[in-house]
């Protein structure tokens, strides 16, 4: 029983159907049938660059770009957000980071109470890296865990897979087995 869980999968790869996405899709097939899934590919959405207005006299912010509004609405509608990003330079992809940067702007939308509304939700990470040293992803994991803590969200965990060539992650038996159980705890007792 999922109690109306809604997963937003935010795809942040520069490659269509990349290893991180394949791993996330494999994990998502093991979610209960009554869990709603929404997949947004940041390549298709074309989120504009974030403009930091926090030090301006009028820091009130109003999203006007349709892509940003779509992401904001999808984010607020989700109980669980899965960042699906390959490991680029030991962290999230630039498009995934840009998405998180927009969260800062959403703090200042009058009446939205974005940070308060995100509290208690769960933030997940699915990532593929091109080397066998899984500790290479530690900076990414630490960054997202700290972001979840700051937002008073739960950190659901990270699913790591090895793969740089297209489809290579599907040969990572450890990652594929982990994908089957990755979201299990989130939905088991809910």
Q: Collect all residues with Cβ–Cβ distance below 8 Å to 136 and sequence separation of at least 6.
A: 87, 90, 129
Whether the per-residue pLDDT at 50 is higher than 90: the answer is no
Spatial separation of the C-alpha atoms in residues 126 and 160, rounded to whole Å: 6
Whether the model clears a pTM of 0.85, i.e. scores above it, the answer is yes
Whether the per-residue pLDDT at 56 is higher than 90: the answer is no
Torsion (CA) 46, 119, 91, 66 in degrees, nearest 10: 0
Q: What is the sign, positive or negative, of the torsion defined by CA atoms of 165, 172, 89, 186?
A: positive
Sorted by where each begins, the domain ranges of the chain are 6-188
Confidence band of 1 (pLDDT split at 50, 70, 90):
very low
CATH of the domain spanning 6-188, picked from 3.20.20.70, 3.30.230.80, 3.30.300.30, 3.40.50.360:
3.40.50.360
């Amino acid at each position: 029983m999922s109690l109306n869980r809604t997963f937003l999968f935010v795809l942040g790869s520069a490659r269509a159907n990349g290893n991180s996405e394949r791993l996330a899709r494999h994990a998502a097939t093991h979610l209960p049938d009554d869990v709603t899934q929404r997949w947004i590919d940041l390549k298709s959405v074309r989120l504009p660059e974030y403009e930091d207005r926090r030090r301006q006299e009028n820091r009130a912010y109003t999203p006007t770009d349709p892509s940003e509004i779509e992401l904001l609405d999808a984010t607020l509608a989700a109980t669980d957000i899965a960042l699906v990003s390959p490991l680029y330079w030991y962290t999230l992809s630039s498009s995934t980071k840009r998405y998180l940067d927009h969260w800062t702007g959403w703090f200042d939308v009058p009446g939205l109470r974005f940070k308060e509304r995100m509290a208690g939700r769960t933030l997940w990470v699915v990532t593929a890296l091109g080397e066998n040293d899984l500790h290479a992803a530690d900076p990414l994991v630490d960054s997202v865990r700290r972001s979840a803590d700051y937002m008073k969200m739960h950190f659901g965990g990270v699913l790591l897979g090895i793969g740089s060539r297209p489809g290579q992650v599907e040969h990572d038996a450890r990652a594929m087995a982990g994908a089957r159980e990755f979201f299990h705890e989130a939905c088991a007792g809910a």
